[in-house]
């Protein structure tokens, strides 16, 4: 059964979903094209700059969310 891509979220997608924000909003905050972010969330490895932007934005959002809990 081929279920990986359809059934398992990539770490980037899982982190975005944990923030509660849309893909469009994360794309805006990271300044990564929403189409490119979609591709990254489906499993394509981001380049170093994209990964750094995602780590920064998602890390900050998840830290704030954890502090609020």
The whole-angstrom separation of Cα 46 and Cα 66 is 25
pLDDT at 1: 40
Are the C-beta atoms of 2 and 42 separated by less than 8 Å?
Answer: no
DSSP label of 37: H
pLDDT at 66: 81
Residue the block writes with tokens 């997608």: 13
**For residue range 9-63, what is the model confidence (pLDDT) as tens digits?**
789 999 999 999 999 999 999 999 999 999 999 999 999 999 999 999 999 999 9
pTM (2 d.p.): 0.82
Domains of the chain plus CATH, in order, are 4-68 (1.10.260)
Between these two residues, 62 and 2, which has the higher pLDDT value?
Answer: 62
């Amino acid at each position: 059964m081929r279920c990986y891509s359809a059934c398992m979220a990539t770490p980037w997608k899982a982190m975005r979903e944990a923030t509660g924000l849309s893909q469009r909003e994360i794309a805006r905050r990271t300044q990564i094209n929403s189409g490119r972010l979609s591709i990254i969330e489906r499993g394509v490895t981001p380049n170093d700059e994209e990964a750094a932007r995602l780590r920064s934005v998602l890390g900050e959002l998840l830290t704030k969310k954890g502090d609020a809990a």
